[in-house]
Amino acid sequence: MQYRRAKIEGGTYFFTLVTHKRKKFLCEPENISLLREAFRYVMQRHPFTIDAIFILPDHLHCIWTLPEGDANFSTRWRLIKSYFSRNCDSQYYGNMTTSRENKKEQTIWQRRFWEHLIKNEQDFIFHVDYIHYNPVKHRLVNAPSAWEYSSFHRYVQQEIGSSRLCVIIFAYGIVKCLSGNTFRTILSKKLSV
Q: Where are the beta strands (DSSP E) in 123-173?
A: 166-169
Query: How is residue 162 annotated by DSSP?
Result: S
Using an 8 Å Cβ cutoff, are 43 and 75 in contact?
Answer: no
Between residues 192 and 35, which one has the greater pLDDT? 35
41 classed as catalytic:
no
Catalytic-role residue among 83, 92, 133, 149: 149
All domains of the chain in start order, with CATH: 12-188 (3.30.70.1290)
pLDDT at 186 over 60: no
Stated pTM of the model: 0.76
The pLDDT mean for the chain works out to 77
Gap between the Cα atoms of 36 and 148, Å rounded: 14
Measured CA to CA, the distance from residue 13 to residue 124 in angstroms comes to 9
Q: Could you report the per-residue pLDDT of 60-108, keeping only the tens digit for each?
A: 999 999 999 999 999 999 999 999 998 986 554 555 455 544 544 556 8
Q: What's the Rg (C-alpha) of the chain? A: 17
